[in-house]
Structure 1
């Protein structure tokens, strides 16, 4: 049964209404790429009129503005072989519009009762999107360049800080050897050890590549190895042990924790074992649970009752530790017997290991 003339006209009216309803520009082409229909948005965006569009070859529209090699490739080579193509990008300078990036979707329509074919060609203007992408890429490139410059400056600063700390430590040690007063010499040695502790902290952070967070276990082990090597003598061997989970902590907080450990270990080495003790031990431990953590420095020495000098108020070490604990928004607990256990807690952590 052949369709009636009225039916064909109704179908054409419906087809044109659908084309005009589409928000994006749309063309309907015949097999020779002549325009059979165009959407209203096509006329508005590309500033052409139906009189100079309908029935004309696509490549001749708008004084040849659509005679684009990439578009020819799409219509004459890709579409005949694949019948459909999505996301084909065309970049072109359109008269009156300027430079545009267009995303083309094309479909070849094959009819069952006719040998004719038509091609649907839809356009999406992605100029603004591409501009934003280019701006983002340029911003990312500038950011990476600034980060590279920052890293170079940071490395230079770390190098200078390390050299300065080494010079200060050397001067303090030379002064300690030169003075005759034992009390002054001890104070200078303490100052030397504190400077070396800061240097060790700085060196470890530098080795971590400027990371925002570092592994506490490796950090404390390296720090305590340095402390033990410089402070523990043959006349009283002391086992300095570090236990820690795999917790990470911010590099800024790691500096404070390192200084606290230095002060407490120095205190334990100096005062916990006034007499020779075969199994002398200092245990440094760190346990974490998210942002909560507990730092503990414990020894199996004489404790504070037997040696009140260890807790003499107003000492520099005590002032330093208390200030650092406050800075970390933590709480300190000191327990005596056997030995001494100092725990620094932040949050709800409550693990308190003791020296054997």
Structure 2
């Protein structure tokens, strides 16, 4: 153990310890006069040791250290709390310019007398605060851009919906004006498909998320709307949806929505030529990590009496096949006198859910 013979030795040791501190550091007496300062304090603030030691802190630099926030720390907070960490001060410091400093202060009390000293350390966080402000500004700019994107997207969706409604109205008017029954049927089918696309678009528009869609809610609302528009009170047909919980991308949701719409419309129109109690269409969607399976099944007359997609190679079949290919999936059709099941499968997937029967 070092035996300090006199006060001078103790002071030398204390000053040597202070000088090893890398950040600006000063020791103040109870009257806020500078007893000692670290080498980094002199180098950082460009002050002369002879004009610093023994002087009132507030008088340094012709009074430029008389900082209101510093007075609050040393004269109000420290006497009450004895310690303070991270006290932030922004000031034009002499010979240094505008800086943001974090101050850590401690009061040292001695047992043998009422004299106390204050240890005060400075940490320059000017660059850190500037980076934080830049990040905040970038975040605000990003949020504003996202807000503008949402507005533009909503406007685009509104215009698409209006355009689809106009096209559907024109097709319906043309269907009523032509004399050919075959042409009229084609125009009405085209009208129904445009309305189906509009319905898919409407459900996507009402979602709370732009890029991700909750698949169960989406398919349920879509099928409910299809059933309401194509079946009346006298039609006992039921349309059930069962889907695993989860979210899918909006682009995938559009394709799945159009496939479901096409298959459900086809089943409603052709699978039940004679409406009866118990007629049922089931839509199921299952997932297994990245793989998924969509099944639209009915308990109608089967494809022996009607081909899936209206007629072999018909427009409905072509639309569904194109969408299935776009989703990198495959389509399988199983049919008998007890009904038809169309499965759209991404990779290998074994169904766990019941189908229409």
TM-score, length-normalised on structure 1? 0.92
User: Matches of 2:79 and 2:264 in 1, distance apart?
Assistant: 81
Distance 1:132 1:13 in 2: 40
1:28-85: per-residue Cα shift (whole Å, max 9, x none)?
A: 1111111111111101110112122111111121222211111111111221222111
Deviation, 1:87, is 1.3
- The structure-2 alpha-carbon separation of the partners of 1:333 and 1:53, relative to structure 1 and needing over 3 Å to count, comes to same
Answer with 177-186 or 22-31: which moved more.
177-186
Greater Cα shift, 202-211 or 303-312: 303-312
**Alignment-derived partner of residue 269 in structure 2:** 270
CA distance, structure 2, for counterparts of residue 70 and residue 24 of structure 1: 20
Residue 236 of structure 1 and its aligned partner are, at CA, apart by: 6.0
Q: Is the 8 A contact 2:237 2:275 kept in 1?
A: no
The aligned counterpart of 2:147 is 148
* Cα 1:93/1:9, change in 2 over 3 Å: same
Give ranges in structure 1 of 5+ residues lacking alignment. none
Structure 2 CA distance for aligned equivalents of residues 5 and 326 of structure 1: 88
How far did 1:345 drift?
1.9
Aligned CA-pair RMSD: 2.2
- Cα deviation for residue 183 of structure 1 reads 2.1
Matched, 1:161 2:163: no
Question: Kindly tell me: are residues 255 and 125 of structure 1, through their superposed partners in 2, closer, same or farther at Cα, counting changes over 3 Å?
Answer: same
Q: Deviations over 1:197-216 (max 9, x none)?
A: 11111111111134322222
Answer yes or no: is the 8 Å Cα contact 1:296–1:353 preserved in 2. no
1:283 matched to 2:266? The reply is: no
Between the aligned partners of 2:303 and 2:74, the Cα distance in structure 1 is 91
Aligned-residue offset at 1:96: 2.5
- Cα distance in structure 2, aligned partners of 1:107 and 1:26: 12
- Structure-1 separation of matches of 2:111 and 2:309: 100
SS of alignment partner, residue 24 of structure 1: coil
Gaps of 5+ in 2: none
Out of 240-249 and 105-114, give the one that drifted further: 240-249
Match of 2:197 in 1: 198
1:251-308, CA deviations, whole angstroms, 9 ceiling, x for partnerless residues? 2211111100111112212322344544322111222344432211001122223434
Residues 331, 13 of structure 1: alpha-carbon distance in 2 compared, 3 angstrom cutoff: farther
The aligned counterpart of 2:180 is: 181
The corresponding residue for 2:355 is 354
State the partner residue of 2:239: 240
Structure 2 counterpart SS, 1:123: strand
Helix, strand or coil for the counterpart of 2:5? helix
Q: 1:310-325 residue pairs with structure 2 within 5 A? A: 312-325=311-324
Distance 2:309 2:95 in 1: 87
Q: Are the aligned partners of 1:213 and 1:249 in contact in 2 as well (CA < 8 Å)?
A: yes
Aligned to 1:298: 297
Cα separation, 2, equivalents of 1:309 and 1:242:
20
Separation (CA, whole Å) in 1 of partners of 2:209 and 2:226: 23
Q: Counterpart in 2 of 1:330? A: 329
Pair 1:76 & 2:75 matched: yes
2:102–2:122 CA contact under 8 A, matched in 1: yes
Task: Please state how far the C-alpha of 1:235 moved relative to its aligned partner.
Answer: 7.8
Secondary structure, aligned partner of 1:115: coil
* Superposition deviation, residue 317 in structure 1: 1.3
- Whether contact under 8 Å (2:100, 2:124) holds in the other structure is yes
**1:308–1:72 CA distance, 2 compared to 1 (3 A):** closer
Q: 1:4: Cα distance to partner?
A: 7.6
Partner of 2:93: 94
Which range moved further: 48-57 or 272-281?
272-281
- Residue in 1 aligned with 2:130? 131
Conserved in 2, the CA contact under 8 Å of 1:283 and 1:354? yes
Q: Is the 8 A contact 2:214 2:247 kept in 1?
A: yes
SS state at 1:342 partner: strand
Match of 1:34 in 2: 33
Instruction: Check 1:209–1:307 CA distance in 2 against 1; reply closer, same or farther (3 A cut).
Output: closer
C-alpha separation in 2, matches of 1:101 and 1:269: 72
